[in-house]
């Protein structure tokens, strides 16, 4: 049988409380019993002293009838079980006892009878020890313990009831407090850890107890953050390794494919030229035009695969980025058929960096082409260049429909495209590869109606 934490804490708390209550109850009962015993003995001595005073004259006069009469009167007291009177030679003068069917525990309480001779007045005696000069006898009272035993039993039962009540109340209140302060936070911590173990890695524990339990929760949260970071790093490393392996395979495969495809394209080009020299009908001319468009798409695809499959080799030289952007935007305006408005925001002075002009030209061209594909007729594209001391910033923004948030992390992945047959899914991947070859980086932000590609490139290539 599995015992839960709350039950364990309650059991431990009950045992501790029980031990404390038993100890306190025992000490209290012992102390109270001792006080009752002392009170009982003091009362017995007071009664014995009073009885000794009443029998002085009968002892001196030798009146045994009076002594027996005094004994009988004394037995009328419920706490007196027996009486004996002795003379100064310990000779028994009178004796009587209570007759009961049950044996009664008795306590002997002897009292010496003295007379005071400081005043020579017969019949007047002082019982103070410092004045007594003559012992005339002794009385011995036998006190019944029945009443005191009943009082002690009542005291013990009362103490037991008080202790049990205090135990029940303390256990109830203590369990509530311990449950609220200790058990509930620990159970919540357990539940949150269970959720984390079930894969809810971004779930965090929120406890505000102000003690070690809160510190434990914060430590667990820090551990979870570190674990997630470690897992992400391992995934990234594994992804990079897989990508590098795939790229290596792609490079080998593409080299063979491009050779065969290139030869086929050349043959197709020759065939197209030969057919175009013939007199064709209007349908034939239309077919030749469609064939030429598809042949161009295939050529662009093979070129992109060739660019992506090879590791970029940066041939350093001075690049005037301002002039490069101006030239690209002018060329794109000439071939644009959708009436797209391309606006440039360029610094007044020249912006020179060290890099590979062909790679940078291809990277920016791919991003601009992607923006032109994204906007509709009469769309707007803005290209801004900013000189930032040791690096440059290029922002290419368009007013297209935007990129869904769940796709932002995928757009630079090779062969990821939403353009259908018109797209290869390599344009942005090539741009990112060429920019990173210059030790730069590219970011993208998007919302409906606006997408921005932000390119940061150092001016001087680090050797």
Task: Note the pLDDT tens digit of each residue in 82-128.
Answer: 888 888 888 888 888 877 666 666 777 788 887 766 654 444 444 44
d(CA 137, CA 87): 4
Which residue, 436, 362, 374, 379, is CA-closest to 401?
374
Report the CATH number at residue 34.
Answer: 3.30.450
Per-residue pLDDT of 185-232, as tens digits, reads 777 777 777 766 666 666 666 766 666 667 777 777 777 777 777 767
Per-residue pLDDT of 438-447, as tens digits, reads 889 999 999 9
Same domain for 282 and 351: no
SS3 state at 455: strand
Which residue, 401, 428, 394, is CA-closest to 414?
428
Same domain for 288 and 392: no
Q: Which two tokens stand for residue 389?
A: 């001391």
Same domain for 415 and 352: yes
Same domain for 218 and 91: no
Residue 463 falls within a domain, yes or no? no
Residue 159 falls within a domain, yes or no? no
Contact 450, 399 (CB under 8 A): yes
Residue 342 falls within a domain, yes or no? yes
Same domain for 439 and 342: yes
Residue 156 falls within a domain, yes or no? no
Residue 58 has pLDDT above 80, yes or no: yes
Same domain for 400 and 357: yes
Beta bridge partners of 132: 116
Residue 8 CB neighbours (<10 A): 11
Q: In 340-390, where do the E strands start and end?
A: 341-345, 352-355, 380-388
Report the CATH number at residue 366.
Answer: 3.30.565.10
> For residue 138, what are the contacts with CB-CB under 8 A and spacing of at least 6?
85, 86, 88, 90, 110, 111, 112, 113
Under DSSP, the state recorded for 459 is S
Q: In this structure, what are the phi and psi dihedrals at residue 444, rounded to the nearest 5 degrees?
A: -140, 135
Residue 66 CB neighbours (<10 A): 16
Same domain for 340 and 265: no
Across 335-358, average pLDDT: 90
Contact 301, 424 (CB under 8 A): yes
User: Residue 287: which domain range?
Assistant: 204-310
Domain endpoint, select from 289, 310, 331: 310
Q: Between residues 343 and 421, which one has the greater pLDDT?
A: 343
Which residue, 83, 82, 91, is CA-closest to 59?
91
Helical axes 184-197 vs 5-54, angle rounded to 10°: 170
Residue 298 falls within a domain, yes or no? yes
């Amino acid at each position: 049988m599995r015992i839960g934490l709350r039950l364990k804490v309650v059991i431990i708390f009950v045992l501790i409380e029980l031990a404390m209550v038993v100890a306190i109850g025992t000490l209290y009962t012992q102390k109270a019993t001792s006080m009752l015993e002392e009170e009982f003995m003091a009362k017995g001595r007071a009664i014995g002293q009073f009885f000794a005073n009443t029998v002085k004259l009968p002892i001196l006069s030798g009146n045994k009838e009076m002594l027996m009469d005094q004994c009988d009167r004394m037995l009328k007291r419920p706490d007196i079980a027996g009486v004996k009177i002795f003379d100064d030679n310990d000779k028994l003068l009178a004796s009587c006892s209570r007759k009961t069917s049950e044996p009664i525990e008795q306590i002997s309480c002897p009292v010496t009878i003295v007379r005071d001779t400081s005043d020579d007045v017969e019949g007047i005696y002082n019982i103070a020890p410092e004045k007594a000069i003559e012992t005339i006898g002794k009385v011995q009272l036998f006190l019944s313990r029945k009443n005191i035993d009943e009082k002690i039993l009542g005291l013990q039962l009362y103490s037991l009831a008080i202790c049990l009540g205090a135990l029940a109340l303390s256990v109830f209140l203590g369990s509530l407090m311990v449950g609220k302060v200790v058990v509930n936070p620990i159970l919540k911590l357990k539940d949150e850890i269970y959720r984390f173990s079930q894969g809810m890695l971004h779930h965090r524990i929120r406890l505000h107890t102000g003690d070690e339990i809160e510190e434990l929760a914060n430590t667990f949260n820090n551990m979870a953050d570190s674990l997630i970071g470690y897992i992400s790093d391992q995934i990234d490393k594994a992804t990079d390794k897989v990508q590098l392996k795939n790229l290596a395979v792609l490079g080998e495969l593409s080299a063979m494919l491009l050779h065969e495809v290139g030869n086929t394209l050349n043959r197709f080009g020759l065939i197209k030229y030969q057919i175009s020299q013939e007199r064709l009908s209007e349908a034939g001319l239309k077919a030749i035009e469609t064939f030429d468009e598809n042949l161009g798409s295939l050529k662009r695809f093979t070129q992109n695969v060739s660019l992506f499959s090879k590791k970029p080799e940066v041939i350093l030289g001075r690049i005037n980025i301002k002039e490069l952007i101006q030239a690209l935007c002018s060329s794109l305006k000439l071939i644009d058929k959708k009436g797209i408005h391309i606006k440039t925001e360029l610094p007044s002075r020249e912006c020179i960096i060290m890099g590979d002009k062909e790679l940078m030209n291809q990277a920016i061209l791919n991003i601009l082409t992607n923006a032109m594909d994204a906007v509709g007729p009469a769309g707007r594209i803005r290209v801004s260049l900013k000189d930032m001391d040791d690096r440059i910033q290029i922002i290419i923004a368009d007013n297209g429909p935007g990129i869904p948030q769940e796709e932002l992390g995928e757009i630079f992945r090779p062969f990821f495209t939403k353009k259908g047959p018109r797209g290869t899914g390599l344009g942005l991947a090539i741009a990112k590869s060429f920019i990173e070859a210059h030790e730069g980086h590219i970011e993208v932000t998007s919302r409906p109606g606006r997408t921005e590609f932000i390119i940061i490139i150092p001016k001087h290539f680090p050797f």
